[in-house]
Amino acid sequence: MARPQLLSIPERLDAYPDVTGEGIVMAFVDSGFYPHPDLMRPRRRIKVYADATVDVPDGREFFTPQTSSWHGTMTACSAAGNGYRSGGSFRGIASDAEVVLVKAGADGGRILGKHVAHAIRFPLRYPDLGVRILNVSLGINDGDPDYADVERAVEEVVAAGIAVFAAAGNAPGRHVNPPGSVDAAITVGGQHDRFSPGRTSDSIWPSSHGSKRGTTKPDLLAPAIWVPAPMLPGTLTAREAAPLFQTLSILEELSAEHGFSERHSLSTPAERTEIGELMRVVEARIARQKYISHEYQHVDGTSFASPIAASVAAQMLEIAPKLTPADIKRGLCETAEKLPDVAAEMQGAGILKPRAAVDWARARV
């Protein structure tokens, strides 16, 4: 079973390699986070970690991998990770940006509007952090009593000069909920580029669209499948991956040794069949768990499309620091490319084009 050889997101999207979000601060609101080496080494780029669900945060849980930590860690790293644990291979586009991490997931992973609104407003309470971009890869339900307050929080943050990116969601039969439903937000749906750069190969990822307000959402599309992201150290997932890849490597070496006869005396058809079956079992497990190495796996969904788009905004701001949230939205949308035969309400402006967006920003310096 052949495993896809994943490129980093910058390579896959042909982003400028020398524009990496240097000097830009990005905030992430999510269920939880962990200080992964891809954000901490060789230099610490996490400026602040905050918990919007409690009055007095217990900092110890930040340093202990939790079930609720994986989603936020992966979203942050898909935008701003430097791929430290992969030798730089699985880095994000904004790999030099600094990050502010704000937890909005309550006990048991519950996402409540009051916590999301509080987390979104965090950069307003601490303006000295210099946040320019805020990504929210979660949403609230229709019946949440703080539905309107989440919308207001987004509007307040954008009015303060912070570009807000939001995941559209992965339910094509449902509308987009806050924060992505807010017109001022840059709402990102999903695209499947099928690992080739041409428009003819692209298709749409199943994404939520539209909103109660009647606004066209999403605003644009970004990759939402086969996105490389780090696993949480010490978790069952991470502990399983390493021995699986070690076992597969041994089996591949055995398989390559001249019919198994020169060194291992495994030359009978039955022995060759047994090795082949073992390889298929191991490869099937690796594929099922979405492992791409002993420390990384691929992740899917608009939760990861949104931070990828946000990372391009970090490039734009590095080149042109005076851009406003409205400028960023305009630049991303004007340089996006429409997917043929896909309704406008499903794709917005079309698929993200990082180089074109940075060139747009450069022309406005």
| Predicted pLDDT of residue 252 | 86
CB 23, CB 99: distance < 8 Å: no
| Predicted pLDDT of residue 238 | 85
pTM to 2 decimals? Answer: 0.91
The CATH homologous superfamily of the domain defined by 9-227+298-362: Peptidase S8/S53 domain (3.40.50.200)
CA distances from 25 to 21, 22, 129, 246 (A): 8, 9, 8, 38
Binned average pLDDT, 10 residues per bin, the chain of 365 residues: 71 97 99 96 97 76 74 97 96 99 88 97 98 98 96 99 98 94 98 64 86 92 96 86 90 72 51 80 92 94 98 99 99 97 94 98 96
Distance in angstroms (rounded) separating the CA atoms of residues 118 and 124: 10
| Predicted pLDDT of residue 286 | 92
DSSP 149: H
| Predicted pLDDT of residue 260 | 47
**Per-residue buried b or exposed e for 301-317, using 16+ beta carbons within 10 Å of the residue's own CB:** bbbbbbbbbbbbbbbbb
Domain-wise residue ranges, the chain: 9-227+298-362, 236-288
